[in-house]
C-alpha cells in the first residue's frame, strides 16, 4: 500500500522523520526513502527493504541529514522514492501513496510533449516522477497539484517538500488517509496517526478528500478545500491499519473488536471451547468475538518472528507462501480435542489459510470454525497497490465462482449474485470453500455488519473489493 511521514520544525527534525517513517513499515515491503532540506540543499537516500528493515538500512546515514528542519520519508510497496527534481517552480521532493491506473496513457502524453523520464521502477515508469512532472506543468504548486489530481485515474496522495514548506494533498476520494499532528516545535503529516504518540505530537485533524494544505513550522494553511465525496478504504480497519491508528476519528483496534462481536452475535447456537485469531491481523477480531460470545480467548497459533520477515515481503509468491507457512506454529497443548473459532482478516489467494487448517488438523483440533472479518473478495482492488496480482483469478473467491459457473467469462450480473449473502449461489460458494479447506464451518462478515463496526456511512467507505460499488469518477 505504502505510507509516508513529513515534518516541518523550528528545530532539527531528522530523528522525528526517521522514526515517524519507520512507524509506517507495516504498509510497504519493497523500497523506502527519506529526503531533507537543511537550509542550503536537498539531501536524499533510498534503500531496498526486500532483504531488511527500515531502521537497519538508514540508521548509519542519519548524520548526513544533520541540521535539517524539514523532511519527508516514505515506505513504498512499489517504486523508489522520494523523487527530487528541479523545475521552474524551484527544487522540490515528492513522495506518493498512489496507484495510477492510466500511467501508460499519461506517460505517452508526456513523451509526446517532449518530456523525459530518468527514474525507473523495475524498468517501468516511476509513478512519483510522473506526478512531479505533472505538478511542474502549472504556474504554482496549488495549480500543479490540482492538475495532477485531475489527470490521474486511480488514487494519489502526495507530499511535496519545497525549500520553505510541505504540501500535503490527499487523493480525490480520500481512499488513503493523511493526518496532521503538532507539538510546540512544529507540525507533522502522516498516513498513520499512530506515528505521532511516541514522538510527542498530538492529533490536529484529518485532511479531507482532495484537500491540499500547506504546512510550515508555524501552522497549516488550506490551499484547496476538500471535496464532498469520500470513500476511504475499508480494509484499513480490517487489516492494513495499525491497531493504535485512527482514521476519520475511528480507532482501528476498536473497530476490529466490534467486527468480531458482530460475527459472534450471528453464532448464537455454535458451541465452542475457545476463540482464537490468526496472528497478527485476526487477533483483535478474535478478542471481540470471544468477549461477545463469552468464551475463552486462546492462542493455539503463535507467530515466530525473530528470523522470518513478513510473509508478503518476498516478491515471489512461492516464497511468500513458504514464509507464511514457516512462521506460524501450532501449540498442540491448546488444540487437541478443542472446538475452536478462528478469526482471520480475509481470504485472498487461499493458500495460507488452507495450510493453517492442515496444521490444526494435524495438531488434533476437534472442530475448526473459520470466521472471516470481511465479505468474500470478489473484485481486485482498482485504487490501491494491495498486491501484485496479475489476474482476477488470483483471488480464491473468483476461482471458486469460475468453477461453479464453468466459464472464465463472468458478467457483472453473475458476480452480483455471489455478492448477495442471502442468495443461493453465495451460500453454495461458501459451502464449497468450507469443504475445500476441510473446515467444520465457514462464515464471512456481512458487509452491513462491517460498515456498522467501522462506524462511517457506507457511502463514505470504499467497498469495491466486495461489491464493486465505489466511485471511479
Residue 293 falls in which region: left (phi positive, over 0), alpha (psi -120 to 50) or beta = alpha
Give the orientation angle of helix 424-436 with respect to helix 396-405, to 10 degrees.
110
Least confident of 6-15, 83-92, 312-321: 312-321
pLDDT digits (tens, 9 = 90+) for 280-323: 889 999 999 999 999 999 999 888 766 555 544 445 556 656 66
Q: Which residue matches cell numbers 493453517?
A: 356
- Per-domain boundaries in the chain: 3-230, 251-467
Q: Using 50, 70 and 90 to split pLDDT, how confident is the model at 449?
A: very high
pLDDT digits (tens, 9 = 90+) for 99-142: 999 999 999 999 999 988 887 666 588 999 999 999 999 999 99
Q: Which residue matches cell numbers 516511476?
A: 126
- The CATH number of 3-230, from 2.40.30.110, 3.40.630.30, 3.20.20.70, 3.60.20.10, is 3.60.20.10
Interval 459-473 mean pLDDT: 91
The percent of residues in the chain predicted with pLDDT above 70, rounded, is 93
pLDDT digits (tens, 9 = 90+) for 243-257: 999 999 999 999 999
Q: How far is CA 371 from CA 62, 98, 141, 273, 335, in A?
A: 45, 31, 48, 15, 17
Q: So what's the architecture of 251-467 in CATH?
A: 3-Layer(aba) Sandwich (3.40)
pLDDT number for residue 396: 95
Distance CA 214, CA 107 (A): 28
pLDDT number for residue 252: 98
Stated pTM of the model: 0.93
pLDDT number for residue 312: 42
pLDDT number for residue 303: 83
pLDDT number for residue 294: 97
Q: Count of residues for the chain?
A: 473
> Which of 447, 473, 470 shows the shortest CA–CA distance to 460?
470
Interval 22-41 mean pLDDT: 94
pLDDT digits (tens, 9 = 90+) for 179-227: 999 999 999 999 999 999 999 999 999 999 999 999 999 999 999 999 9
| Dihedral sign of CA atoms 152, 237, 450, 312 in order | positive
Q: Which residue matches cell numbers 476520494?
A: 173
b/e code 370-401 from CB counts within 10 Å (16+ = b): bbbbbbbbbbbbbbbbbbeeeebbbbbbbbbb
Amino acid at each position: 500500500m505504502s505510507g509516508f511521514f513529513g515534518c516541518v520544525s523550528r528545530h532539527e527534525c531528522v530523528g522525528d522523520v526517521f522514526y515517524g517513517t519507520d512507524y509506517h513499515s507495516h504498509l510497504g515491503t519493497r523500497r523506502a526513502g527519506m529526503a531533507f532540506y537543511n537550509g542550503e540543499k536537498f539531501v536524499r537516500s533510498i534503500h531496498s527493504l526486500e532483504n531488511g528493515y527500515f531502521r537497519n538500512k538508514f540508521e548509519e546515514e542519519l548524520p548526513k541529514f544533520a541540521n535539517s528542519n524539514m523532511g519527508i520519508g516514505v515506505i513504498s510497496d512499489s517504486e523508489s522514492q522520494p523523487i527530487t527534481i528541479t523545475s521552474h517552480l524551484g527544487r522540490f521532493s515528492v513522495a506518493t501513496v498512489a496507484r495510477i491506473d492510466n500511467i501508460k496513457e499519461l506517460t505517452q502524453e508526456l513523451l509526446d510533449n517532449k518530456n523525459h523520464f530518468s527514474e525507473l521502477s523495475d524498468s517501468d515508469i516511476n509513478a512519483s516522477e510522473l506526478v512531479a512532472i505533472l505538478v511542474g506543468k502549472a504556474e504554482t504548486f496549488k495549480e500543479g497539484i490540482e492538475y495532477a489530481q485531475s489527470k490521474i485515474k486511480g488514487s494519489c496522495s502526495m507530499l511535496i517538500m519545497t525549500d520553505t514548506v510541505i504540501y500535503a494533498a490527499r487523493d480525490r476520494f480520500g481512499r488513503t488517509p493523511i493526518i496532521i499532528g503538532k507539538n510546540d516545535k512544529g507540525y507533522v503529516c502522516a498516513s498513520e496517526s499512530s506515528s505521532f504518540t511516541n514522538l510527542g505530537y498530538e492529533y490536529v485533524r484529518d485532511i479531507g478528500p482532495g484537500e491540499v494544505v500547506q504546512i510550515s513550522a508555524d501552522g497549516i494553511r488550506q490551499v484547496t478545500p476538500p471535496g464532498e465525496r469520500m470513500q476511504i478504504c475499508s480494509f484499513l480497519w480490517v487489516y492494513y491499519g495499525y491497531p493504535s491508528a485512527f482514521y476519520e476519528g475511528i480507532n482501528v483496534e476498536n473497530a476490529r473488536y466490534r467486527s468480531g462481536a458482530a460475527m459472534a452475535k450471528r453464532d448464537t447456537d455454535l458451541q465452542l471451547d475457545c476463540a482464537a485469531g490468526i496472528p497478527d491481523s485476526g487477533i483483535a477480531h478474535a478478542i471481540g468475538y470471544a468477549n461477545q460470545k463469552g468464551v475463552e480467548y486462546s492462542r493455539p497459533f503463535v507467530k515466530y518472528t525473530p528470523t522470518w520477515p513478513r510473509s508478503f515481503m518476498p516478491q515471489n509468491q512461492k516464497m511468500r507462501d513458504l514464509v507464511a507457512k514457516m512462521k506460524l506454529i501450532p501449540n498442540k497443548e491448546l488444540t487437541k480435542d478443542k472446538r475452536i473459532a478462528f478469526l482471520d482478516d480475509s481470504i485472498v489467494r487461499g493458500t495460507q489459510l488452507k495450510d493453517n487448517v492442515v496444521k490444526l488438523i494435524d495438531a488434533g483440533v476437534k472442530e475448526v470454525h473459520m470466521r472471516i472479518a470481511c465479505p468474500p473478495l470478489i473484485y481486485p482492488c482498482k485504487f490501491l497497490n494491495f498486491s501484485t496480482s496479475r489476474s482476477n483469478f488470483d483471488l480464491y473467491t473468483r476461482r471458486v465462482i469460475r468453477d461453479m459457473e464453468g466459464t472464465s467469462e463472468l458478467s457483472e450480473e453473475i458476480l452480483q449474485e455471489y455478492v448477495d449473502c442471502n442468495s443461493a449461489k453465495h451460500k453454495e460458494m461458501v459451502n464449497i470453500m468450507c469443504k475445500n479447506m476441510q473446515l467444520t464451518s465457514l462464515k464471512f462478515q456481512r458487509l452491513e455488519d462491517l460498515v456498522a463496526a467501522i462506524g462511517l456511512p457506507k457511502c463514505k467507505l470504499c467497498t469495491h473489493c466486495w461489491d464493486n460499488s465505489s466511485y471511479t469518477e
